[in-house]
Chain A
Amino acid sequence: MLTSVATTLGRSTRRRAIAGALACAAPLALVSSAGLAQQAPPLKIGVILPLSGNFTPAGEDALTGLKIYFDSINNEVAGRKIQLIVEDEQGKPDVALTKARKLVEGDKVQILTGFVSSAVALAVNGYAREKKIPMIVSADGGANELTMPGPLANPYLVRTSQNGRTPSAAAAEFVFKQGWRKVAAITSDYAGGFDTIGGFAQAFCRLGGTITQEQYPPLTTNDYGPYVTNIQRDADAVVTFLPGANGLKFANQFIELGVKDKIPLMDIFGQIAYEPYLKQLGANGVGIYSVLHYTPMIKTPENERFVKEYEARAKRLPSDNGPDAWVGAKAIAEAAKAVDGKVEDTDKFLAAFRTLKFDSPKGPIAFDKFGQVIQSMYVRKVEKVGNDYVNTPIQTFNNVDQFWPFSLADLEAYKYRYADLKGSMGDCKKVLEKK
């Protein structure tokens, strides 16, 4: 309740800024289109991102990535101007739903994109499905169910970022290969945390490893001292998923209490080894492992070009949300091109979308039939390069789909859902029990 008022104020100023920017852009659009006799109506894209509140950095990253791509094609595709209408959802599902309604029914957008928080993505999902509006999840929103067969599946949804489970599975592969068999897990106490550590437990158990300790600090934890002190000192590795400021708070205690020098740390999703935090952790962060579908250190022409442009705009290295949104923007444009700009034919547009294949800053991209991106997973290690601390990729898993290393049938055969396993992630018999 308190926060809601706080962020409303934040938003209104931001909104004014955006309105101002649009007002400036509008005359330009008129001038440039005046020469063409029959300009097709603009392609309106509703962008739903958190631009105030806790998720602000992720929202701004995504917006920058999106704009980098659209600017590179002069905001025009298949003869249609691209018009972005940006709405701040403040990290709140109810606000996001209101904004989605406003965009679809008021502004008549043809496409919705963005979505950082899973809760926000889930809230808009039902509405987009009902309205048959293409929903391109091109930022963090990683709820597994959005792209799996089941009650939440949405034929109008495509995700260009990642799902919650896959980076965990890649982390399990890496940890096991290092010979670390007994791991202590520390995960934030909420649905995203259970999904992540559950995905890890499943893959890790199948390989033959065990989680020997589970700790679930609430998202509101201020002092991580007690949790770090409580870590079993004979664990082979510590595995974490601690989103937002939690990762930074945990890392500081983990370093300060001297545990980092003794036990390796695997940070699923790179929540601790998050680029803006690396500068703060400095030399203390060196050696932290993480798994994510991106690192700015990928050495490909696509990525080097992207990072350079991103740094020029945002004055910092991109997190995964930047390239995720870039891929979303490029895929929207490519799919629009494939249907000659007739985006209103939703089925054709989405069918074209799902057959796309291209090289992106995060590596080669394709989509599966459920609308989930197929991409690479990177195991990264914090290193010092020059004067900067960066996530160097040390192992890459290519063409990873959302079920990897399982098949859909494999995954569906398991009896327990991840959230049910809280407290018994270490019991591999239960984790792997079939229906």
Chain B
Amino acid sequence: MDINVPHRRTAHAAVIGLLVLCSFSALPVLAAEMSVGASVGAVASGETFEAVVSLDTQGETVNAAEGTLTYPQDMLEPLAIRDADASIDFWAVRPKIGVPGAIAFSGVAPGGFKSDEARLFEVTFRAKQDGRAAIGLTGAEALLNDGQGTAAALSTRAFTITVLPEPPQALTPAPAPTPVTAPQDMTPPEAFMPTVVKNEQPYGNRWFLVFAAQDKQSGIDRYEVREAPSGMPAALSPWVAAESPYLLRDQTRKSRVEVKAIDRSGNVRVASVTTAAPEAWYVWLLIWLMAVTVFAVVDRRFLTRLPRKRR
């Protein structure tokens, strides 16, 4: 009996310690949470669903977030990404389909945001194979708008969807593949203002272009830039795919620069940049006059060399 006393005390102490530990661990931990969610918990193979990546800032003001969305590539196929109307204003790494099984993202919102459900982006997946598919997040990070880039305490929550086998074809006709349609968007991206900058970074004191457009419906799909020499029809210059920052080809800044923002529904907004020093009109008049004169002279010489018909 005497021996048992210390054991009991030890046991009591352990229980109390455990209770204390449990009570502490039961305290609410105010950590922001980055999560993946969907409106459905199960789909049939061949069907599509939307997975939404969102952030609950738990009352903190967050101005930057990044991470990588992971999914089993043998079970799920990403078809489209929508980042319109997201809480991130500028992407350093725009979420896009490319690397199998992973979609990386990284971006900021100047001034920050505070929300219990800040949407970052959503992915349309097609289920390929039956089973349980886990969509998770790795390397997730959310930073506070405190001027120091302090990392917010962050937890992540994955989402698992059940993919049911396709119904037997003998019993029911095979369902037509679900068409993936972009949201109905007839509105072009919002007006934006590209800026031409000359700076040591990142292109060694050369002129470059920065731009960012917004589209609240379907989101920006891509940008194209055109540099048309001053005085020449713009249609003669090709549009080229571009990202901001974009190093200008014409460092004299005499070209007319246009930026085309194209949303995921194909709507287009074009913004132009005023050239710094376009050629004066009389310069182009002179050039055209010279060209006409040269042509006339050449033409006359050519004509004079033609054999004349004998009468």
- Are A and B part of the same complex? no
B residues contacting A by CB (< 8 A) are: none
A residues contacting B by CB (< 8 A) are: none
